Amino acid sequence: MSQGTATVPIDDEAIASTLERHPHADGVLVREVLAKARLMDGLDGEDMASLMTVSDPDLLGELFDAAQFIKNQIYGKRLVVFAPLYVSNLCGNECTYCAFRARNTELERRALTQEEIARETQILIEQGHKRVLLVAGESYPREGFSYVLKSIETIYGVTPDKGEIRRINVNVAPLTLDQFRELKACKIGTYQLFQETYHRGTYASVHLAGKKKDYDWRVTAMDRAMQAGIDDVGIGVLFGLCDWRFELLALMQHVRHLESRFGVGPHTLSVPRLEPASGSDVASQPPHAVSDIDFRKIVAILRLAVPYTGIIMSTRESAHIRRETFALGVSQISAGSRTNPGGYADIERENASQFCLGDHRPLDEVIRDVAALGYIPSFCTACYRLGRTGRDFMDLAKPGEIKEHCDPNALATFVEYLIDYGSAETRAVGERLVHDLLAEMDPVPQQMAAKMVERVRAGRRDVFC
């Protein structure tokens, strides 16, 4: 059976010459590119390279304004919220930056039992979460990969009186075509996998042992996932390992490869920066550390380059950076996260964590903060449950129609959160925001949103359109 393509063509030489052609920012060119970006048709590598060198505060302000414009046009005030659920930290690989790597003896190893996974799920549901990202190291307990499939079934199977997990996204090591088919059959949302670095030399220097040494097996994972019928895939780079300018252009080549092969690119892009991790020198002293201002540039440039692709920011980032970056194009955030298996039930036991978090606040506090900044925390899972995935999602998203669904869905799920889980303080901030946003909406989505919110207030749950 075919295992898909042999590799994804990442053209290092073309990237190097594109970067050489743009050694410093040319104000006229930058403004031309920003004007083009505002048409919301995306940017090519040359355009992106011309924006990467911007450092003048005025031009930088114009870049951020353009990104904010696109974010508002396409995503409005919505920020989708999720929590990671780490089921196991067993791993056979030796990624020098990760605490889960096989030879790290400082880490307490643990693969949760199905009962423990159900317990973690129950806690996340009680906090108000509706979406989780299942995460595991690349080695499973005795039953092998079916451990992951069983875990998904367990999570969807936790249905207390109030609440449930409505979408499980998955971040596990690259799979075979048949395994991807099994994953698809479990009704996952997005399959997520980061290439870490697209630079082969750097890749070889940080992946010392185990299956993950094989760059091509990893870079072709999304081809197999999409061949297996998983429409929504999420790709990303672990920033700090190699020059971020190279990584952004390589990431775009990966996006364009998927677009040309499958007619649709990735559903999401993730932008993790290296964080300190136990037993890792690379993680505490990244060879190509990305500054806060460059991090914001990365988010802004991606927002302009692929306007309809979601951008995910995790709790690796501090509350301060997260606040500053929402406006530039982030569409999904994690909140209240733990990166150790069992970390929601056992909050004391952190020496099994993958890396250190930048944002330690509980979900309720993050929701209050996000709402106070004017963003609607959305727990919506409507698209994938209505089959609006992959190309269908993009077809709907591109003319901006998705806003007519997303804003009402976001408001209805936010009100559901406020009533069922919000603290009094968060409810006060949230209800004010709901009132203001309803008043600002266009008549059609406003009518729809008002009706849906009323149904939630009357006791209906899981209301979506």
Q: Which of 22, 37, 78, 138 binds ligand SF4 (CB under 6 A)?
A: 138
Q: How far is the CB of 329 from ligand SF4 (least distance, A)?
A: 26
Question: How far is it, in rounded angstroms, from Cα 381 to Cα 386?
Answer: 9
Using the rule CB under 6 A, is 95 a contact of ligand SF4?
yes
The footprint of ligand SAM on residues 273-302 (CB under 6 A) is: 274-275, 277, 283
Q: Which of 42, 45, 272, 422 binds ligand SAM (CB under 6 A)?
A: 272
Q: Which of 49, 91, 132, 274 binds ligand SF4 (CB under 6 A)?
A: 91
Tokens of 93: 């690989």
- The amino acid that residue 318 corresponds to is S
What residues form DSSP beta bridges with 333?
81, 313
Q: Which residues contact 168 (CB under 8 A, 6 or more apart)?
A: 131, 132, 133, 134, 152, 155, 156, 186, 187, 188, 189
Nearer to ligand SF4, 221 or 402 (CB): 221
Residues binding ligand SAM: what is the number (CB under 6 A)? 21
Instruction: Please list the alpha-helical segments (H only) found in 134-278.
Output: 146-157, 177-185, 200-206, 215-219, 221-227, 244-262
Q: Is 346 exposed, middle or buried (0-12, 13-18, 19+ CB in 10 A)?
A: middle
Neighbours of 150 (CB within 10 A): 17
Contact letters for ligand SAM, residues 404-443 (x by CB under 6 A): ----------------------------------------
Q: How far is the CB of 149 from ligand SAM (least distance, A)?
A: 16
Closest CA to 329 of 140, 74, 132, 90: 74
Using the rule CB under 6 A, is 317 a contact of ligand SAM?
no
Neighbours of 277 (CB within 10 A): 25
Using the rule CB under 6 A, is 111 a contact of ligand SAM?
no
Q: How far is the CB of 97 from ligand SAM (least distance, A)?
A: 5
Contact letters for ligand SF4, residues 207-226 (x by CB under 6 A): -----x--------------
Q: Which of 64, 75, 82, 97 binds ligand SAM (CB under 6 A)?
A: 97
**Contact assessment for residue 107 and residue 100, using Cβ atoms and an 8 Å cutoff:** yes
Q: Which residues bind ligand SAM (CB under 6 A)?
A: 97-98, 100, 135, 137-138, 171-173, 193-194, 196, 238, 272, 274-275, 277, 283, 316, 354-355
